[in-house]
Amino acid sequence: MKDTNILIVGVGGQGTLLASRILGRLAMNCGVDVKISEVHGMAQRGGSVVTHVRFGYHVSSPLVERGQADIILAFEKLEAYRWLPYLQENGILVVNDQEIDPMPVIMGISKYPEGLSQKLKFRCGQLAWIPGMKIAEQVGNLKVTNTALLGALARYLEASPETWQKAIEETVPPKTVEANRKAFSMGYAIQEETK
């Protein structure tokens, strides 16, 4: 696989960490160098979280810098917008169609930004809206939203769906393999909205 920088963003507790680990496993199985920088501890408690995934021939820094991400996989709309400066021009944005109000919005101090779909579309090369939660509901396990999103992401990477399924199998808890495989396939099958 060619040198790729991916940013996975979302809200603490949404399962971004597992998604990044599946990606890491995938890269390893494809025989390329890979680094993932994760967030643990306090920020995991409902805060804005970001995981950096970089793979290619040789990776030094584990961090994706501003304007460097080839793809941003966003688990939440506002977070997609917040991290947008990290996307390179004409980068790909895969967004879970979900809004989670942050505390200042809940308290009425600030407003959840309006018209995000238009704003996001305006500022990236390609945009895919993914109903991750709906897929997870159909699978019958809300926790597999992350693999549904990975399915959508997989369309933009070189690895085959079979390689992905293997990486999923090797990473998720054994009991949830089937649900995760199914969510991935459904995410992969989505015909995304492109620009």
Partner 1 sequence: MLGNEGVARGAYEAGVRVAAAYPGTPSTEIAETIAKYDEVYAEWAPNEKVALETAIGASIGGARALVCMKHVGLNVAADPLFTVAYTGVNGGLVVVTADDPGMHSSQNEQDSRYYAKAAHIPMLEPADSQEAKDFTRLAYRISEVYDTPVLIRMTTRVSHSQSIVTLEERQEVGRKAYHKNSSKYVMMPGMARQRHIFVEKREAELSKAAEQLSVNRMESKDPAIGIIASGIAYQYAAEALPDASIFKLGMVHPLPIKRIEEFASRVKKLYVVEELEPILEDEIKSRGISVIGKELFSRQGELSARIIKEKIARTTPRPSCLPEELPERPPALCPGCPHRGAYYVMKRLNLTVVGDIGCYTLGALPPLDSVDTSICMGASIGMALGMEKARGRDFARKLVAVIGDSTFIHSGITGLIDVVYNQGITTVVILDNSTTGMTGHQDHPATGKNIRGNPAPILNLYALVKAVGIPNVRVVDPFDIEQAEKILKEETEREEPSVIFFQRPCVLLSKKSGLPCFINHESCKSCGSCLRLGCPAILKKENRIGINQQLCSGCGLCQNVCRFHAIEGGSKE
Binding of partner 1 by 56 (CB under 8 A): no
Counting residues that bind partner 1 (by CB under 8 A) gives: 53
**Residue 21: partners with Cβ closer than 8 Å, 6 or more residues away:** 36, 171
Q: Does 105 bind partner 1 (CB under 8 A)?
A: yes
Interface pattern 151-180 for partner 1 (x via CB under 8 A): ------------------------------
Residue labelled with tokens 């947008």: 84
Interface with partner 1 (CB under 8 A), residue from 2, 3, 61, 97: 61
- Of 109-117, 159-167, 170-178, 179-187, the segment contacting partner 1 by CB under 8 A is 109-117
Q: Is 37 in the site for partner 1 (CB under 8 A)?
A: yes
Q: Are 75 and 107 in contact (CB under 8 A)?
A: no
- Output the smallest distance, CB 81 to partner 1, in A: 7
Location of structure tokens 């021009």: 89
Stretch touching partner 1 by CB under 8 A, among 101-109, 166-174, 175-183, 184-192: 101-109
8 Å CB contact between 33 and 57? yes
Other Cβ atoms less than 10 A from the Cβ of 168: the count is 23
Least distance from partner 1 to the Cβ atom of residue 44, Å: 7
- Residue of the chain from 65, 97, 158, 193 that contacts partner 1 (CB under 8 A): 65
At 192, is the secondary structure helix, strand, or coil?
coil
Residue 171 is which amino acid? T
CA distances from 162 to 30, 170, 183 (A): 12, 12, 14
Cα separation, 71 vs 31, in Å, equals 20
Nearer to partner 1, 52 or 188 (CB): 52
C-beta closer to partner 1: residue 110 or 160 = 110
Nearest by Cα to 137 from 172, 183, 191, 99? 183
d(CA 157, CA 137): 26
Based on the shown chain and the rule CB under 8 A, indicate whether residue 42 belongs to the binding site for partner 1.
yes
Q: What residues make contact with partner 1 under the rule CB under 8 A?
A: 11-13, 21, 24, 28, 33-48, 59-63, 65-67, 78-79, 81-82, 84-85, 100-113, 123, 133, 142
